[in-house]
Amino acid sequence: MSHPRITATPDVMMGKPCVKGTRITVELVLRKLGAGRSFADLLEVYPQLTEEDLRAALAFAADYLEHETVIAAE
């Protein structure tokens, strides 16, 4: 799936997927949301982001994980 709001460039944040036009990684967005921060919190702390950017980060991560294979440890 195409994610026009998410880019990965080798010379920006070591190639990690970022919100386009920023140095804010998808990983950072996920970690902040996972820690209990709300969209409103993130938009206040990172005013360069939009709600669409945050949703794009979530969609990117979901699409990435869709193709992962999990092997249960025994």
Q: Where are the domains of the chain?
A: 6-66
The CATH number fitting domain 6-66, selected from 1.10.10.10, 3.50.50.60, 3.20.20.80, 3.60.130.10 = 1.10.10.10
**What's the CA gap between 54 and 37, in Å, rounded?**
12
What would the pLDDT profile of 11-21 be if each residue is shown by its tens digit? 999 999 999 99
**pLDDT tens, residue by residue, 26-40:** 999 999 999 999 999
Q: Which residue has the tokens 């026009």?
A: 4
Q: Read off the pLDDT band of 23 (50, 70, 90).
A: very high
Q: Is 18 helix (H, G, I), strand (E, B) or coil?
A: strand
**CA dihedral for 36, 41, 55, 31, sign (positive or negative):** negative
